[in-house]
């Protein structure tokens, strides 16, 4: 009977003393979770606002792209017109250069002809001098003959000479001699006349030819000068068109660069918009997961308290049995011994996360300034890449609730392929303070996911296999740790928390 009374006394004492001590601890944890749930809702509303702003920026970006495309089209048209004009000018310049080349050839030919004519004139002048000398000599001979004939009576002396012959043979001889003399005089006179005619004819011919060639040269020189002036004008026009073309090319290059920037900005905005959409869905599911975590925390706290009370009662019974067996004063120290066993502070997690894969080969570390290996663009690497060939298991880094699972072609979590998102409420830093931590597992083998949204998982539980789905360069696990909900701004270096 005494033992039963002691048991009842201890039970009442534990209800009035132990339970009030434990309830504030549980209540504080629940309140923390509820506060995080409110913050999560606030983040979701902020994401909705960001999504609206992103859509406005995308619309403005698309309008700007439309303007730039129109400007590029106008520049292309101007460039086409300018290119046509340049081609026409170049053809005109080529034609003019051909004409200039032909004229230069003609000028060269004419100058050679003039040079040849001048040489002929020199030769002709020499011939004229010789001819004039012959004419003078012949003229002197003719004058001498005329003076002789005048002194001797002219033709009458030839008749006297013929008719004074002594015989017929002498007559024939004298007649033949006179005939030869007369013929010679006639030939001299005829040669003199012909030489004078030839001299005059050659002089006129050479002078006319020289004058004609000089006129032709002057005409060709003038034509060449005119064509050179035309060519200079065409070259100047071509230069203007070339400068215009260069300016248009610069403008088009600038517009094209601007278009590239706008397209990159549009891609970033679209990616941001997709990210926001993912975040909206994640926040909604994280809220549900946190509510589930609150319920689990309440149940875990009640179960832990129930077990602790049972252990306390069992300990008291053992102490009372020992005191009764010794016949002693067991009631003396009951009040002092009640609740002396401190409540457990083991949160079941510890300061480190479980390694998330069956291989420890890290191929790419957390790096906010990494150049993406596929796109070649600077993109922050918000996680750690772990890779190895063959079948590699993927493990939950800590106990928690699965927020969502994703597949490569479901249109969510752009580029991550098959993936799993898990939320935890754990003591990440080993300081006794629990907080929301989210882990993310991406590029999983298609169809290998073994968990579902809302499912609770334990630390080190296999949840999938390593794969190469989504945008990547080979089989690997992309593992992220976020303090709080999943968001780019919450990403931290996983290496700081993995053993």
Residue 55 domain-assigned (yes or no): yes
Same domain, 295 and 211: yes
| Mean per-residue pLDDT of the chain | 77
Residue 158 domain-assigned (yes or no): no
Same domain, 253 and 325: yes
Q: Residues 330-350: pLDDT tens digits?
A: 443 333 333 333 333 334 444
The tally of CA atoms less than 13 A away on the side-chain side of residue 457 is 30
* Whole-number percent of the chain with pLDDT over 90: 22
Q: Residues 74-104: pLDDT tens digits?
A: 888 888 998 898 889 789 888 988 988 898 8
Same domain, 336 and 408: no
Distance from C-alpha of 237 to C-alpha of 250, rounded to nearest angstrom = 20
CB 424 within 8 Å of CB 437? yes
Beta carbons within 8 Å of 393's beta carbon, 6+ residues apart: 357, 358, 462, 465, 466
Average pLDDT over residues 482-492: 89
Instruction: Give the residue among 442, 464, 458 at the shortest CA–CA distance from 391.
Output: 464
Total domains present in the chain: 2
Handedness of CA 176, 181, 184, 186 (dihedral sign): negative
Query: What three-state secondary structure class fits 327?
Result: coil
Average pLDDT over residues 164-192: 77
Same domain, 294 and 390: no
How big is the chain by its Cα radius of gyration, in Å? 61
Q: What is the DSSP letter of 381?
A: B
Q: What is the DSSP letter of 495?
A: G
Residue 478 domain-assigned (yes or no): yes
Distance from C-alpha of 227 to C-alpha of 224, rounded to nearest angstrom = 5
Same domain, 238 and 290: yes
Same domain, 85 and 220: yes
Give the residue with greater pLDDT, 57 vs 221. 221
Give the residue with greater pLDDT, 364 vs 275. 364
Tokens 């993936």 label which residue? 419
Cβ atoms < 10 Å from Cβ of 450: 14
Q: Residues 393-438: pLDDT tens digits?
A: 999 999 889 999 999 988 787 778 999 999 988 888 878 788 889 9
Same domain, 313 and 423: no
Instruction: Give the residue among 474, 477, 470, 488 at the shortest CA–CA distance from 407.
Output: 470
Same domain, 332 and 397: no
The pLDDT value recorded for residue 396 is 97
The pLDDT value recorded for residue 246 is 93
The tally of CA atoms less than 13 A away on the side-chain side of residue 484 is 17
Q: Beta partners for 415?
A: none
In 255-295, which ranges are E strands?
none
SS (H, E, C) 455-469: CEECCCCEEEEEECC
Instruction: Give the residue among 399, 326, 380, 388 at the shortest CA–CA distance from 361.
Output: 388
How far is the CA of 313 from the CAs of 10, 63, 299, 306, 430, in angstroms?
Answer: 7, 75, 21, 11, 31
How far is the CA of 279 from the CAs of 48, 49, 271, in angstroms?
Answer: 9, 12, 12
For residue 237, report the phi and psi dihedrals to the nearest 5 degrees.
-65, -40
Angle between helices 155-163 and 2-152 (to 10 degrees): 60
Residue 199 domain-assigned (yes or no): yes
Domain closes at, from 340, 373, 403: 340
**Res. 158 pLDDT band, cuts 50 70 90:** low
Q: Residues 203-226: pLDDT tens digits?
A: 788 788 888 888 988 988 898 888
Instruction: Give the residue among 218, 212, 220 at the shortest CA–CA distance from 106.
Output: 220
Domain closes at, from 298, 316, 340: 340
Q: Name the range with the highest mean pLDDT among 158-167, 206-215, 234-243, 332-341.
A: 234-243
Residue 164 domain-assigned (yes or no): no
Domain of 491, CATH number, reads 2.70.70.10
> Considering the entire predicted model, what is its pTM?
0.46
Same domain, 366 and 248: no
Q: Residues 311-328: pLDDT tens digits?
A: 888 888 887 777 666 554
Same domain, 450 and 401: yes
Domain closes at, from 340, 366, 390: 340
CB 420 within 8 Å of CB 440? yes
Instruction: Give the residue among 352, 386, 345, 415 at the shortest CA–CA distance from 480.
Output: 386
Domain coverage including residue 366: 347-499
- Residue 476, pLDDT > 50, answer yes
How far is the CA of 160 from the CAs of 143, 144, 422, in angstroms?
Answer: 22, 21, 162
- What token pair was written down for 488? 């780019």
């Amino acid at each position: 009977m005494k033992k039963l009374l002691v048991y009842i006394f201890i039970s009442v004492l534990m209800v009035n003393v132990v339970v009030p001590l434990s309830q504030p601890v549980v209540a504080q944890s629940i309140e923390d979770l509820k506060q995080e749930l409110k913050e999560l809702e606030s983040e979701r509303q902020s994401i909705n606002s960001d999504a609206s702003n992103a859509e406005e920026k995308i619309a403005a970006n698309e309008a700007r792209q439309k303007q730039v495309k129109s400007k590029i089209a106008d520049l292309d048209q101007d460039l086409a017109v300018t290119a046509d004009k340049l081609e026409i000018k170049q053809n005109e310049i080529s034609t003019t250069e051909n004409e200039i080349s032909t004229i230069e050839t003609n000028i060269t030919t004419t100058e050679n002809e003039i040079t040849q004519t001048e040489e002929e004139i020199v030769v002709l002048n020499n011939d004229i001098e010789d001819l004039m000398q012959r004419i003078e000599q012949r003229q002197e001979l003719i004058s001498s003959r005329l003076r002789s004939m005048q002194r001797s009576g002219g033709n009458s002396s030839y008749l006297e000479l013929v008719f004074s012959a002594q015989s017929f043979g002498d007559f024939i001889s004298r007649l033949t001699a006179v005939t030869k003399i007369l013929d010679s005089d006639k030939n001299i006179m005829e040669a003199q006349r012909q030489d004078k005619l030839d001299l005059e004819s050659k002089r006129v011919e050479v002078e006319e030819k020289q004058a004609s060639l000089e006129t032709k040269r002057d005409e060709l020189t003038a034509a060449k000068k005119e064509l050179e002036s035309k060519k200079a004008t065409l070259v100047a026009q071509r230069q203007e068109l070339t400068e215009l073309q260069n300016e248009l090319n610069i403008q088009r290059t600038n517009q094209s660069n601007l278009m590239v920037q706008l397209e990159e900005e549009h891609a970033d905005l679209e990616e941001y918009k997709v990210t926001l959409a993912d975040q909206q869905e994640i926040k909604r599911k994280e809220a549900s997961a946190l509510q589930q975590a609150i319920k689990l925390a309440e149940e875990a706290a009640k179960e832990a308290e129930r077990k602790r009370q049972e252990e306390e009662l069992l300990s008291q019974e053992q102490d009372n049995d020992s005191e009764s067996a010794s016949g002693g004063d067991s009631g003396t120290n009951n009040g002092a011994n009640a609740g002396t066993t401190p409540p457990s502070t083991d949160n079941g997690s510890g300061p480190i996360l479980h390694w998330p894969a069956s291989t420890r080969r890290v191929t790419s570390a957390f790096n906010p300034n990494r150049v993406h290996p596929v796109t070649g663009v600077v993109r922050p690497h918000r996680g750690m890449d772990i890779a190895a060939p063959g079948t590699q298991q993927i493990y939950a880094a800590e106990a928690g609730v699965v927020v969502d699972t994703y597949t490569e072609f479901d249109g969510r979590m752009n580029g991550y392929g098959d993936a799993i998102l898990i939320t935890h409420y754990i003591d990440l830093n080993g300081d006794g303070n629990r907080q929301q931590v989210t882990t993310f597992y991406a590029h999983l083998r298609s169809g290998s996911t073994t968990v579902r949204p809302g499912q609770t998982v334990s630390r080190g539980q296999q949840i999938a296999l390593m794969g190469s789905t989504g945008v990547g360069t080979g089989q690997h696990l992309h593992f992220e740790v976020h303090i709080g909900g999943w968001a780019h701004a919450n990403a931290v270096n996983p290496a700081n928390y993995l053993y």
